Structure 1
């Protein structure tokens, strides 16, 4: 069950100025007037008599009408996508029909406060079906849109996550996060309070009618010091679905710091004080600086998960004898952990320590890397402006995949050895391509491999760029930005949303490439697009008996139920673990698993448990296919021809999946273990690169 991350809500704010005149919903002032907000909790309603500290309030009383003017605090400035509605009346604000992947906002721009408490209550008509709601309280919003926010994330099964974010420019930085012991349910009202007092930021969420808890998440930041406006925002994850949001009331009050508070919490003037003492659980303590991020997933958090960052600089994670080697700077931007594409700080630190200590298989894998052609300091990149690949063209195809592997290899060598020449070489390769490449051509005749080629390049280039950017390698911010621009212009249009006519290795490579681009560019919508594609395609490309007599028909493809047999290369029957290209050859099957497992690992680092969602399917598929690579004459073969290896592509992967399922979770996978002991998975090919070095298992 996934936990969604902080969305990129900048489009909502950016469109406000231009869209308000056209889309702001207008009503008469008389219709918006109300006396004391009847929807407020009793204590808060009573506090409305003290107007000296109350800045804004609205209980959305009166008859139903478009949201316009608050009972106190001036006019609402609103934005919602076409076809959506923001209707107030009868004691609630109804936010309806906001599509997945889009957001809405309700801001009180005439309110100005530095030290402020904002409270509201909301409920959902449904929490099922991957809703993925981000319900955000806006604090201290400046004229340049810099602001603090507290976001409640409603996950797939109603579990909650609570975050405090800082928005500045195009970056959203998660300052603190927690998974409170509160759940949502259809129609259940949740109370939310968020405060900004001086440099202190804190928030809490609880069910209406229950005791008010101590603040569950708290942090400090001195970046946004001036007074600003307040409001609400909603966003539905693109990998989820829309749902009706009902806001029962909204209230903003001015605050002053209470220096004598025993728990150093600002005391709200117009909000009820906590009625219970802080729980000893992590959810009521200040955010951890070195513990795994609390997760709302249904499976335990792996103990090797990377530590969360506290902002744009943080824990390097390097210890012991490796302290003289390059150290990563852990960064969290827009909810993304960096480095966070396949590799995390903790996983690389552990692997490097093992390799340098001479432990196997890491030490042998490092030796293989040092001896490879991609490790040569004489490597010369060969970028082209237009990559053209297919039956009728071959321009830049081999050069791109080779240079991407070389860049990643050099980045790893910089991290493992500390030789800055490798850092410089990786930067040289990345800059050469970002300064040259403009497009990947694609059509179904001459440039028929254009989409897959773009996926392979993006999968591997991003892994290299992520390591270089956050390891102190000396890559300039301007060059990193130019690389981002290349990804979004020359790669992303070719890989997002997959290809309707593609097989399994195409679909998963394109999904992983999209996820990687989303992480590197800190683009939440792009990342979630890739996650959604991963979910759609993995479940329909490995067969399980629970699917029925035949595999699931893949979404968003030209495959029909009558075409399934041909699409799966005409097996004699479908058996658990059979992969869509098993009957083609082992190497194309491995390309699928390589992308699926690497994508799952990236999602895991970013807090989304794709591995848990498809654990049975992935483990069964790995074991079934490894069995016949180990012994082509083994029983249970269902294809109409003997197992074909299809080259050596099958030797480059499997380690990431085995490391997670067998190494972290303790699942027995004897066939995969046997295969890894034979091939070692230490090499690099296309998008499957040095997996034993980074994700080896003793």
Structure 2
């Protein structure tokens, strides 16, 4: 159903007009131009080794939050050891899953590989590593293209997940043969990256997940040039997706946008014509599911960037994420909708909700940085243990809930 809704590097990002420290993570306070890490950190897509060790220790010591989340993941159909990959040479994806030729299979197989990689790292059981490898090898040996109108989005969803699994397996002595790794690299380089790196002028959640995929792929491939390109696109898209009152009367637009008038911006923002509060998202008046996709990708990229040496949470990106999470969490929890917001009527936030997308951002911004995020915290606790969304978000209470590593 959700498919139908469609060592640490030196400073990685250089401020245009503000000099940054020559070492350590650089808080970003202005529009930035990306630089690739001088040395890529591995594993380094969404999770690093310290975080993985933290999770492993918590589960193996029987601590309730992590043990419950781990068992919930293992009980997912995607984590079944008798489940088999279903690769497709040409994945054909249209709007609202029409057609769905390999689309569901691809995102679910990628999530299954990620679940198996986590289970391998936590348990040390080779059967999980072998299963994760089987998914990655099956698709690397088969998929050649994505077609139809949703091809970029589909490549983004699956492409965001594959590198997470691959980073864990490759850098944990899981027994993935070098020849198979090369084949997987070629799949990411030749099938996924060309589809996502070009970006999108469609709804913001498209471009955000496409850049999430591109950045994760570039970390795995150690592709500095495309990392820079993807990160620059991301840094332009986030301010065009989440509004801050400091932006002025209307939201910012991405540099490649064709939105040249107030009327066009309002139409793109689904009729939202006034902006008295920070945190409104480009798709707020569409529904919260799509906003959740965007918030998830923002948090995922920020987390990978932090691992690679630059703390996006400390600057404009983090501020927009914090306000975006808080704004939508408040209404998801049942706050009265003011007349100025979406003409006083939000799309049903009971069924079309954020889902479990708050853990990564909440952990970074509240647990690590100490920001007060009451609504986001309540919603995060209410949704534990977080599951998977069938697309590109999976088991984030296990991976990031109260993860202080």
Alignment TM-score > 0.5, same fold: yes
User: What's the secondary structure of 2:41's corresponding residue?
Assistant: strand
Work out whether 1:580 is the aligned partner of 2:282.
Answer: yes
Q: What does residue 294 of structure 2 align with?
A: 592
1:506 is aligned, of 200, 206, 213, to 206
Give 1:635 deviation, angstroms.
5.1
- Measure, in 1, the Cα distance between the counterparts of 2:356 and 2:388: 6
Q: Report what 2:33 is aligned to.
A: none
Correspondence 1:667 to 2:368: no
Distance 1:469 1:476 in 2: 9
SS of structure 1 residue aligned to 2:199: coil
> CA 1:372–1:401 in structure 2 vs 1: closer, same or farther (change >3 Å)?
same
Equivalent position to 1:626, from 319, 329, 349? 329
Q: Secondary structure at the match of 1:387?
A: strand
Residue 94 of structure 2 is aligned with which of 390, 395, 402? 390
Deviations 1:73-115 (A, max 9, x none): xxxxxxxxxxxxxxxxxxxxxxxxxxxxxxxxxxxxxxxxxxx
Q: Name whichever structure is richer in helix by fraction.
A: 2
2:157 to 456, 466, 486: 456
Cα distance change of structure 1 residues 628 and 481 upon mapping to structure 2, 3 Å threshold: same
Distance 2:340 2:383 in 1: 22
Number of the residue aligned with 1:543 = 243
The TM-score normalised by the length of structure 1 is: 0.52
Aligned to 1:695: 400
2:62 to 349, 355, 358: 358
Q: Give the CA deviation at 1:353.
A: 1.6
Identify which of 238, 242, 252 aligns with 1:552.
Answer: 252
Say whether residues 1:656 and 2:360 are aligned partners. yes
1:425 corresponding residue in structure 2:
131
Separation in structure 1 between the aligned mates of residue 45 and residue 346 of structure 2, nearest angstrom: 36
Show the 5 A alignment for 1:208-219.
none
More contact order relative to length (CA 8 Å, sep ≥ 6): 2
Q: CA deviation at 1:482?
A: 0.8
Structure 2 unaligned segments of length 5 or more: list them: 1-8, 30-36
Native 8 Å contact 1:514 1:529 kept in 2: no
Contact kept, 8 Å, 2:193 with 2:217, in 1: the verdict is yes
Counterpart selection for 1:129 from 11, 16, 20: 16
The whole-number CA distance in structure 2 between the counterparts of 1:399 and 1:514 is 21
**Matched residue SS, 1:409:** helix
Output the TM-score relative to the length of structure 2. 0.89
Paired residue total:
381
Change (3 A) 1:464 1:649: farther
1:688 partner SS: coil
- CA positional deviation for 1:668: 0.6
Task: Indicate whether 1:530 and 2:236 are aligned.
Answer: no
**Mapping of 1:159-174 within 5 angstroms?**
159-160=21-22
Q: Is the 8 A contact 1:499 1:557 kept in 2?
A: no
1:107-506 alignment runs, 5 A limit? 129=16, 157=19, 159-160=21-22, 179=23, 294-297=24-27, 335-391=39-95, 393-441=99-147, 447-500=148-201, 502-506=202-206
Deviation for aligned residue 1:471:
1.1
Runs of 4+ in structure 1 off by over 6 angstroms are none
Tell me the distance in 1 between the aligned counterparts of 2:227 and 2:341: 37
Greater radius of gyration (CA): 1
Q: CA RMSD in A?
A: 2.2
Q: Give the Å deviation of 1:621.
A: 1.1
